[in-house]
Structure 1
Amino acid sequence: MSIKKKLILIGVCIVIVIAIFTINVVRQIKSTSEDNDRQELVQENIISKGEAYRLLSYLKYNKNNREALPFEINYQDENMSGWYDSYVNAAWNMGLIEKNIRTSPKEALTYGECKVIIDKLIIEEPWLQTVYEELSYDFINAVEVMKLSEFLELYEAILTKVPEEKRLVKDETLFVLGRDETNKDVMRMVTDQGRYYYNHTMTYEKPYELLKTSSFDNKDMVELYMDKGIDVKICGNEIVYITAITTDKIVLKNVWVVEGKGNEVNAFINGIDKKFEGQFPLSKEVNKVIADISIENQKIVQISVKPDIVHGKVLQSGEDYIEIDGYGKIPLEEDYRIYKVYGNLSSETTNSILVGYENTDFVVSGGKISAALITESIKAANIRVLLKTSGFASNYHEEIILTSDEEFVISSKERDNKYTAGEKVTISIGDELLKDGRIKVYTSSGEGKIQLLSVKRSEGNPKYRGTLEIVDNSEGLLLVNELPLEEYLYAVIPSEMPTYYGIEALKVQAVCARSYAYRHLMANSLNKYGAHVDDSVSYQVYNNISENEDSVLAVKDTYGQVIEYDGEVITAYYFSTSCGHTTTAEYVWANGEPIPYLKGRLMAVEDSSRVLSQENIRDYRDLSNEETFRKFISEDTLTTYDSEFNWYRWTTKIDIDTLNDTIDEKLASRYRANSNLILTMVNPNEGGTEPVYESIPVDSIGEIVDISVKNRETGGIITDLLITGSKKTILVKTEYNIRSILAPLTNTLIRKDLSEVNNLKLLPSAFFVIDKTVDDGKLRSITLNGGGYGHGVGMSQNGVKAMIDNGIKYKEILSYFYDGTEIGFIYE
């Protein structure tokens, strides 16, 4: 190689090295340069468009709602994208700016641009019409860049005009305790009032000049304000901006004092361990107590210990009170806190006070509960069941009629009344028996049952083990049955599965039902009613069919057994009958969260002579394809564990007039149930772009023009159904809404054995295909050919029966349906 070529090659290499070095440097400084650009504008008392959009977005959206918006803005230059993207998108959704962004949000905002934005805001929100009148400046110099201080003056004027019920931005004083370390990638400040995001928070000290620091960095904001009080504007769980460091005395309410001695106090608040210095030495040591700590100039100036504690069984817990056996309803202090003080010290959520248990001490001050101290773990022995009226129609009873086959007691706070076997007692709203509050009903022996003559179930008037509690609520009488969890299962199993399926099948159901009940018991979701679950399909059906020898034996044979995944008890979802393939949890419920142990699977009987080949099985593993699913539903070439059951296949024909009536009847109520799951098309598919759907109140779509499957997922379940009407086009989301909207209310549904079922309020499942009858260009009727009964997630109860008949044992069946799980035990 010649010297000239070598020199050229060396030169090229040097250029490449320089280029790579330059790219890396640019990458390293890009994020900080954006912050620096933003900072420089602020230091010059100038506001950028991006910052203006950020502040204005809080008028309509909190963090969660803003980030949930579909990203639909278009930047003319991709380099315009930056930290402000979600705020710019929110401003477009508010109707304040155009969808196509032609000038960078990094640029300074002019007075003229600001006036255009605010004028649009006034059109959207007429209550802002007088906002300009209170400003100390005007917008005459339209081309001049706007001063930050004057935009903030405008912003605060806007905030004062927002009606209280619509106001998202509020003033708050926070004491900074530290940084949230649970997720290093999330910038969240821990304060005495909770945790707040501060990713794009700015510090604007009145009269709105930036706090003078040599290098301002949001990541250092916590260190900057550590152990100080700050006045802020917040929106939900996000700090909009900081207005001042407060010099006022701040009282940290209901702090857990680990140890206080001399000039030092070690405390725990909102998940943070803190060490405070006292202005003066403590007069005496304090340890493991609840106290209010007053801080001034970063030092403790006063500690007020709260020594009074009450203890008892929690009967009910509401948003602002807890009812404790023997004490009645005690209101909660505004800054009420919950601490778990056994094991590793931690702060707990409000649902942690479990009704029906006595594992908590309550610190009381001034007639209110200041703090709850959870002193031991829960041993889930008892469950509390809210009993609904006949037909599971309501939580509230107008009257309750009781009796028993043996002597029973009605106990109130003041007295116990005994009644003879067979005696009937009627309790009505405002009854004398309820004048002292909650009453309890139980048999004298503690072993008998109380019968409800005012409630009807499948077998007549149900009888209940344990204790019945009655409380007079403003809406009616609430009725709660407390009993051992194991005994509760006695009457769940026959209500959820035919007991003639045999003991082994009932064992499967028992373990599932116990797991399901345990999860809901710990979730405490019905605490406002003083219960863990109710007795309807909303949880598990309880005592619709009474217990029997087989159901009791199945519970006893599986005593305490639950299904666990990674050491945690699972929510063991189950349903009646599959179409031959189960589905995945994320495609059924609105939150869309994947659950690792609930995966859809083909339920082929792999040792069956009717299984043609492994290739045949592979053909049906992906049923999200429309044609594959149609073939699967219509052809009977593969035997699955549910194949022999009537609900395995079904068909129904619905004429368009009837379907119109059903949709008109159901649409408004389904929208009210969850407005994000019934969407209306606002912009059709034009020029190759996707149609735009929005949540808009709707009660009719006019005459049905077309209906089609928009999206099908694992197992063939329909998750999105498109219905085109003469007035509106809607997108119906989730299997439950689809089953409700297309319910054959007045039509006959024919099952696999040709038996007929009428007047269904829901389609059996969302595993179906649609065939349309069109005449003279108009849709006349639809025929739905489907399979299965229920949501299709987890365990098929009829599939269990078939597996038992094939000799498979209950533990193997559970691992088949709940992938990667094992059997655990809930009692210590």
Structure 2
Amino acid sequence: MKRNLILIGAILILILTYVFFPRSVEQGVLVNSDSTYSTIYVDGKLKKFRGASDFPKLSVLDFKYNLIKAYSFKCLTPLTERIMTKEASTYDLEKSGKASLSAKANFYKIDASNSINPAAAKDVIVGKSNVKYVKNSKGELKTFLIYPMDFSKMRVAISTTNFSSFYHKKTEIKCEAPAKLYSKRDNFSIDLPKDSLVVIEPSESKLNVTVNNKTNSYSNRVYLSGDSLKVENIVRGIPSFIPTYSGTLEFTNISQSICMINEVDLEEYLRKVVPSEMPLSGGIEALKCQAVAARTYAISDMLLNRFSKLGFYVDDSTQSQVYNNIATQTLSDQAVNATKGQILTYKGSPIDAKYYSTSSGTGVNYNDIWFNADGSSEDRPYLVTNNYLTPKKELPNTEAGWLKYYKDNNVAALDSNYPYFRWRVEFSNQGITNTINKSLKTIYSKKKDFITIKQNSKELSEPIELKELKEVKITKRSEGGNALEVSFIFSNAELYVKGDSSIRSILKCNSEYSNEATTLYRHKGDQLTNVTFLPSSFFSVEKSNDKFTIYGGGYGHGVGMSQYGAIELSKKGTKYTDILNTFYKGVKLDKLY
């Protein structure tokens, strides 16, 4: 009997301990609370606790709880510094510097109505002021509250002359209006009069900043804000000019080079993108199309966080969209103003607004250009195969048919009045063999998975010297006509190349690679020499004796909006909304702000 009482007592103690034993929660996020219950996100999961909290919704709370109730609520104060760069485990805070990311970090997105849902690290956009975050006891960033974002500012990497690099050895800026030089981390601010000259050079991990011949050294990011900042170490455009920027220029020492970022109003950014990307000759409706597409592209890249390790959204070259390569123009300014805040969306999200120069009479799906080595690709249902022939007729479905199509300079299509609608390049056998051998090493080092080399039916692990090209075959082609995979049959091996960028790069039309005069003939008769890479992957190849001729069409990737197609429709009086719907399918024109 006594033994049973002891056992019962032990069980009661265990039950009471289990019921009343306090558990701790670090950084739960309060969703709502009434007189009885509190609903709280804990580690990304919504949980309900008995016990009221007096703190407002979205408070970040440490608290204890047992099976009876939650108690001892403590509200934590979030930090609000901008996150300037992001790496997998480290974020750079604007004032306090680098901070580690907790392995158990939680991200929450809050919408305009204050509803909260779990999010991810990708939803933290660098350089924005819409994020609050809380550190844990180790000083690691653990809880992130991501609020609706202001889209009206862009962060653009400014390249060196010829867009050759993000990294500058030295920058020289003439302030053509009063400006301000400052650093939030080094805690200084200097007002500069008009015509001040600011020279910035890296020195080990610091920046040497010379203002009107007086030099100071700073350990951290430096900013220069003004309405007219002329960067005198850069040359842009044809005819050439020295570019001027507005907003803020931001300078960071990265490996003893300067990364220069222009934080600028989005509409001002577009005023310098639209004339750099599209000629004025197309008229106002085509320029409106370019403004909407460029604005959408910029927002899409911002959300994609492509360059978050360096702290910007887009660069100023064709890698993103060309910025400030041509001076602003009245007509393109009108197009930007007329479409202010307008972007293209698909199911409520900004689209990936791809555009390119000239079609070959067709456009192709997104996944015909951007795909992984295994053939998989992201879904872009609004970027689909298009037929721009006038009148429309059935596209070829055989290699002989495509060769005939690309050889025909009289095909009537939306873009057929423009120089790159048709083109051809002639190589001798030795010339094309030289080109492929020289290009192959570079491409193989960057995109190995898109290259296959076989010798005696055995796949090789490294490139070899290829000898005497015998035949070129398009082994896989899209419905819209671009080459997806090309095989090159040599006397000693077979080379298989897939993917738009790899195919275009392997066939450089350049004497530096071919070791012979290599000319690209456009369909109006003009000739170009030393073209860097093939204008497009829309082509067929014909062999005659010792000569290979590539017959092709279009300039660019062929996905989304053909800029010259938009120009042609604009000249015919088509409104920009209808032009956009010609190239992007199932999209909606929304006003972002």
Length-normalised TM-score, structure 2: 0.84
| CA–CA separation in structure 2 for the residues paired with 1:510 and 1:388 | 22
Equivalent residue for 1:167?
A: none
Change (3 A) 1:711 1:328: same
Q: 1:782 to 1:559 in 2, by over 3 A?
A: same
What is the rounded CA distance, in whole Å, between the counterparts of 2:579 and 2:201 in structure 1? 47
Indicate yes or no: 2:280 matched with 1:516.
no
Counterpart of 1:492 (choices 255, 264, 273) is 273
Decide whether the 8 Å contact of 2:455 with 2:492 is kept in 1. no
SS at match of 1:315: strand
Q: 1:658 to 1:360 in 2, by over 3 A?
A: same
Deviation at 1:525, TM superposition (A): 2.1
Match of 2:530 among 753, 759, 762: 759
Task: Return 5+ residue gaps in structure 2 as ranges.
Answer: 1-21, 210-216, 512-517
Post-superposition Cα deviations, 1:365-412, rounded to whole Å, max 9, x if no partner, equal 447343343353113111111112222222221111111222222112
| TM superposition shift of 1:718 | 0.6
Alpha-carbon distance change, 265 to 763 in structure 1, aligned in 2, over 3 angstroms: same
Q: Tell me the residue number matched to 1:678.
A: 451
> How far apart are the structure 2 equivalents of 1:770 and 1:398?
44
| 1:312 maps to which of 72, 77, 81 | 81
Distance 1:751 1:357 in 2: 46
Name the larger-Rg structure: 1
How far has the Cα of 1:361 moved from its partner? Answer: 1.3
Aligned partners of 1:520 and 1:533 also within 8 Å: yes
Letter in 1 for 2:141: S
Q: Give distance in 1, aligned partners of 2:133 and 2:37.
A: 26
Aligned pairs for 1:206-225 within 5 A: none
Query: Residue in 2 aligned with 1:657?
Result: 430
The CA deviation at 1:563 is 1.6
Distance 2:461 2:65 in 1: 50
Question: Shift in Å at residue 511 of structure 1?
Answer: 0.8
Match of 2:230 among 442, 451, 454: 451
The answer to whether 1:349 aligns with 2:128 is no
Partner AA of 1:817 in structure 2: F
Which residues of 2 match residues 28-427 of structure 1 at below 5 A? 254-256=27-29, 258=31, 266-269=39-42, 271-275=44-48, 288-290=58-60, 307-342=76-111, 343-366=114-137, 368-374=139-145, 376-413=147-184, 414-427=187-200
Q: Secondary structure at the match of 1:553?
A: helix
Identity %, equivalent residues: 28
Task: Go from structure 1 to structure 2 and tell me whether the alpha carbon gap of 1:292 and 1:799 turns closer, same or farther (over 3 Å shift).
Answer: same
What residue number does 1:820 align with? 586
Matched residue of 1:480: which SS?
strand
Flag the 1:370–1:264 CA change in 2: closer, same or farther, 3 A: farther
CA deviation digits over 1:183-233, x for unaligned, max 9? xxxxxxxxxxxxxxxxxxxxxxxxxxxxxxxxxxxxxxxxxxxxxxxxxxx
1:662–1:648 CA distance, 2 compared to 1 (3 A): same
Q: CA deviation at 1:770?
A: 0.5
Map of 2:18 onto structure 1: none
Q: 1:483 and 1:530, CA in 2 relative to 1: closer, same or farther beyond 3 A?
A: same
Q: Do 1:362 and 1:369's aligned partners in 2 also have CA atoms closer than 8 Å?
A: no
Cα distance per residue 1:536-571 (max 9 Å; x no partner): 111111112121212211100111111222332211
- Asked if the contact 2:509–2:532 (Cα under 8 Å) also holds between the matched residues in 1, the reply is yes
Q: 1:771 aligns with which of 539, 542, 563?
A: 542
Q: Secondary structure at the match of 1:465?
A: strand
| C-alpha distance in 2 between matches for 1:307 and 1:454 | 47
Higher helix share: 1
**Partner residue of 1:668?**
441
Q: Is the counterpart of residue 435 in structure 1 residue 218 in structure 2?
A: yes
Structure 2 residue 498 is matched with structure 1 residue 733 = yes
1:572 matched to 2:353? The reply is yes
Provide the residue aligned with 1:782 in structure 2.
548
Residue 654 of structure 1: SS of its match in structure 2?
A: strand
Q: Which amino acid aligns with 1:598?
A: L
Between the aligned partners of 2:446 and 2:116, the Cα distance in structure 1 is 39
Distance across 2 between alignment mates of 1:785 and 1:497: 26
- Correspondence for 2:561 among 795, 800, 816: 795
Letter in 1 for 2:99: I
Higher relative contact order (CA 8 A, sep 6+): 2
Residue equivalent to 1:557? 338
Gap change, CA 1:270 and 1:666, over 3 Å in 2: farther
Q: Name the CA shift for 1:257/1:369 in 2 (closer, same or farther; >3 Å).
A: farther
What letter matches 2:490 in structure 1? G
1:622 pairs with 2:407: no
1:300 Cα deviation after fit: 10
- Separation in 2 of the partners of 1:462 and 1:546? 8
Q: 1:656 to 1:812 in 2, by over 3 A?
A: same
Which residue of structure 1 aligns with residue 254 of structure 2? 473
Could you tell me how far 1:628 is from its partner in structure 2?
A: 2.2
Residues 326-367 of structure 1: CA deviation (Å, up to 9, x unaligned) = 433333333222222444322221121222321121212447
**Which one-letter code corresponds to 1:569 in the other structure?**
P
Alpha-carbon separation, structure 2, partners of 1:471 and 1:673: 28
| Deviation, structure 1 residue 455 | 1.7
In structure 2, the CA distance between the partners of 1:410 and 1:729, relative to structure 1 (3 Å rule), is: same
SS of 1:542 mapped into structure 2: coil
- Contact 1:384/1:483, CA 8 A, preserved across alignment: yes
The 3-state SS of whatever aligns with 2:102 is strand
Distance 1:400 1:699, change over 3 A: farther
**CA distance in structure 2 between the aligned counterparts of 1:477 and 1:732, rounded to whole angstroms:** 37
2:508 to 743, 756, 759: 743
Q: For residue 703 of structure 1, report the CA deviation from its aligned partner.
A: 4.0
1:317 & 1:710 partners in 2: Cα distance?
Answer: 41
What is the letter of the counterpart of residue 201 of structure 2? S
Aligned-pair CA distance for 1:442: 1.6
Q: Is the 8 A contact 2:157 2:260 kept in 1?
A: yes
Whether the 8 Å CA contact 2:342–2:592 is kept in 1: the answer is yes
| AA matched with 1:399 | K
Q: Does 1:602 align with 2:387?
A: yes
Q: Larger strand proportion, structure 1 or 2?
A: 2
* Number of residue equivalences: 546
Give CA deviations for 1:27-66 in whole Å, capped at 9, x if unaligned.
xxxxxxxxxxxxxxxxxxxxxxxxxxxxxxxxxxxxxxxx
TM-score by structure 1 length? Answer: 0.61
Q: Which runs of 5+ in 1 are unaligned?
A: 1-248, 607-616, 685-691, 775-779
